[in-house]
Structure 1
Amino acid sequence: MTAQNSATLPTTIAVKNPVRRGTALALLGVVAFSLTFPATAWGLESFGPWSLVALRSVLAAAIAGAFLLACRVPLPARGHWAGLAVVAAGVVVGFPMLTTLALTTSTTSHAAVVVGLLPLTTAALSALRTGARPSRAFWAAALAGAAVVIAFVVCDGTLAQSGGALSAGDAYLFGALLVCAAGYTEGGRLARTLPGWQVIGWALVLCLPLSLAGSVAGLAYEPVHLTGHGLAGLIWAAAGSTFLGLYVWYRGMAEIGAPRASQLQLAQPLLTLVWSVALLGEHLSPAAPAAACGVLVCIAVTQRVK
């Protein structure tokens, strides 16, 4: 065996089944994201919406910065900064801010099912941005999954809570769908050349000046009432959802592609509903198990077709 073959053997073994590994990593990201809304609801017990989002970003940036410094990671190439700015605007600032504002007027269960349209939005933007062309079977399964989520909204009665009309909270949520899908798509593209944790790490560091200024302003104008739930929600939103969740998510997307990874998020609204019941005491509709089965079937199809 030559020296070159010996050097490449461990890498070959390490990537024995990249599709299965990428799917597992993306699923871990989905689980982390499913706790975001309950954690945010807890955080709002102690902080105002602007303070919470800014502090969340500052703490996540501190974690990311520590890793970047400890690993002596060089600055990204000039060509990566535009993409990192899109990631920062979408998943570090835009999505957290818009969903937090929505949760001041909407329940976590309502927000979860509306954001259930994120997989389809991400797949569509990814196809436009990267030129990926999933099969008709993929799109049929993705549309079916979105239809299940929409049907669940109707059957669950969440629209009836607002008189059948879209509220200001819904406007925030639909805006969050667009900016988050853009951030996911660009982050997944960057993760093909940069490690996933560096993608989110540099995006967080890029936003740090804005996050620090927002923290100072928010804490000055919004009341703070520290509680155990509030602090736990802030810590999870920063460390779990923003850093760890996005790290494994982008790494998984890099291995299986944004369209396939995005469809795994069809399970996220239903997981969030479970957490909402367990952690917040919200009511779970009898339609949830049926919706869960339908979503799981759609996910299985999107993961098997190309």
Structure 2
Amino acid sequence: MSDTINLSGEVSDKRANGWINGLIGVLIFSGSLPATRVAVMEFDPVFLTVARATIAGLLGLALLLLFREKRPTRGQIIPLSVVAFGVVVGFPLLTAMALQYVTSAHSIVFLGLLPLATAVFGVLRGGERPRLAFWVFSILGSLLVVGFAVSRGLTASPKGDVLMLLAIVACGLGYAEGARLSKVLGGWQVISWALVLSLPTMAALTLYNLPASFRGISVPAWISLAYVSLFSMLIGFVFWYHGLAQGGIAAVGQLQLLQPFFGLALAATLLHESVSIGMLGVTVAVIFCVAGARKFSK
């Protein structure tokens, strides 16, 4: 009996730690789109994407060498490549391109779709089977976000909105695949190896897309580049993948519904972008969906 109680307690503690790590990851990621918005105003989006991946890749390589981590097995290379495609290249590039057409406040609203995308890929790639009520809450939160976007008029910038939707799909796939690998390799090891795999290509593209001059680049733009390189591409994933692996991809993934709230606050505070009552209303509504989805995730 005592063994059963201890086992139950360990599982409960593991899930609780998963939610804590996941929340830290979400807080870090919340600054990504506002920072990208600042950086893309002065850096070419392609250069920004490959430069941030190169910087993070060099840091990841240094960590792997420092701690003398074993190389991934042959069977782990393809999954790591999927992670690299989704979160190292796909999401950063697509969002950087989208932010040329939409504000960061508008793009952040689309992040409400990310928990659903992550959960779907968690089922397809991670073998998770959340209860029906979980999907009701998850879909409800996503519909609230999509409904708000439609009410604002998707035709205002169809290119930006399509790019954001593609970014969400790529990111959800990368999150789920990375979380599955984290159970074997570890959280920081997964993102580090994914960055290292893409490093030769990203470094070459960085040199190819190098601007003729960096004169005129403002301090906020450089700070934003540093943030998306260090925190968005590396540190955030250390907590995020660890949290997904501990608490479950579909369950902890619902914490992403909080990301629009934090992101909108940053956009209003740092970028002085207008945040309407409708935006806040949708954000608050989808936050309430987290509790319901969490309760029925197992």
State the TM-score, normalizing by the size of structure 2.
Answer: 0.91
Within 5 Å, give how 1:245-256 maps onto structure 2.
Answer: 245-256=236-247
Task: Identify the residue that residue 3 of structure 2 maps to in structure 1.
Answer: none
Indicate conservation of the 8 Å contact 2:95/2:164, yes or no: yes
Matched position secondary structure for 2:228: helix
- Structure 2: tracts of 5 or more residues without a match: 1-7
Task: Identify the residue that residue 89 of structure 2 maps to in structure 1.
Answer: 93
- The amino acid that maps onto 1:183 is G
Task: Identify the residue that residue 122 of structure 2 maps to in structure 1.
Answer: 126
- Relative to 1, partners in 2 of residues 1:288 and 1:255: Cα closer, same or farther, differing over 3 Å? same
Could you report, residue by residue, the CA deviation over 1:186-244 in whole angstroms, capped at 9, with x for unpaired residues? 10100111110000000001111111111111114797632111111000001111101
Could you report, residue by residue, the CA deviation over 1:108-163 in whole angstroms, capped at 9, with x for unpaired residues? 111111232111111112212222111011011101111222233345x3x26x44
Cα separation, 2, equivalents of 1:293 and 1:107: 20
Say whether 1:181 aligns with 2:177.
no
- The amino acid that maps onto 2:52 is R
Say whether 1:283 aligns with 2:279.
no
| RMSD between aligned residues | 2.0
Say whether 1:225 aligns with 2:221.
no
Task: Identify the residue that residue 64 of structure 1 maps to in structure 2.
Answer: 60
State the TM-score, normalizing by the size of structure 1.
Answer: 0.89
In the TM superposition, residue 13 of structure 1 has moved relative to its aligned partner by 9.9
Cα separation, 1, equivalents of 2:125 and 2:9: 32
- Relative to 1, partners in 2 of residues 1:224 and 1:247: Cα closer, same or farther, differing over 3 Å? farther
Q: Equivalent of 2:98, from 102, 123, 127?
A: 102
Cα separation, 2, equivalents of 1:112 and 1:17: 31
Task: Identify the residue that residue 4 of structure 2 maps to in structure 1.
Answer: none
- The amino acid that maps onto 1:69 is L
- The amino acid that maps onto 1:152 is F
Task: Identify the residue that residue 212 of structure 1 maps to in structure 2.
Answer: 203
- Relative to 1, partners in 2 of residues 1:113 and 1:214: Cα closer, same or farther, differing over 3 Å? same
Q: Which runs of 4+ in 1 moved over 4 A?
A: 12-16, 220-224
Cα separation, 2, equivalents of 1:221 and 1:258: 43
Indicate conservation of the 8 Å contact 1:28/1:249, yes or no: yes
In the TM superposition, residue 41 of structure 1 has moved relative to its aligned partner by 1.3
Percent identical: 37
Say whether 1:265 aligns with 2:256.
yes
Indicate conservation of the 8 Å contact 2:186/2:242, yes or no: yes
- Relative to 1, partners in 2 of residues 1:195 and 1:304: Cα closer, same or farther, differing over 3 Å? same
- The amino acid that maps onto 2:66 is A
In the TM superposition, residue 16 of structure 1 has moved relative to its aligned partner by 7.1
Indicate conservation of the 8 Å contact 1:48/1:224, yes or no: no
Cα separation, 2, equivalents of 1:176 and 1:98: 5
Q: Equivalent of 1:238, from 204, 229, 238?
A: 229
Matched position secondary structure for 2:209: helix
- The amino acid that maps onto 2:67 is C
Cα separation, 1, equivalents of 2:57 and 2:288: 37
- Relative to 1, partners in 2 of residues 1:218 and 1:39: Cα closer, same or farther, differing over 3 Å? same
- The amino acid that maps onto 1:293 is V
Say whether 1:199 aligns with 2:196.
no
Deviates more, 1:86-95 or 1:296-305: 296-305
Deviates more, 1:215-224 or 1:96-105: 215-224
- Structure 1: tracts of 5 or more residues without a match: 1-11
- The amino acid that maps onto 2:203 is L
Q: Equivalent of 1:52, from 48, 51, 62?
A: 48
Task: Identify the residue that residue 70 of structure 2 maps to in structure 1.
Answer: 74
- The amino acid that maps onto 1:119 is P
Cα separation, 1, equivalents of 2:212 and 2:129: 48
Matched position secondary structure for 1:192: helix
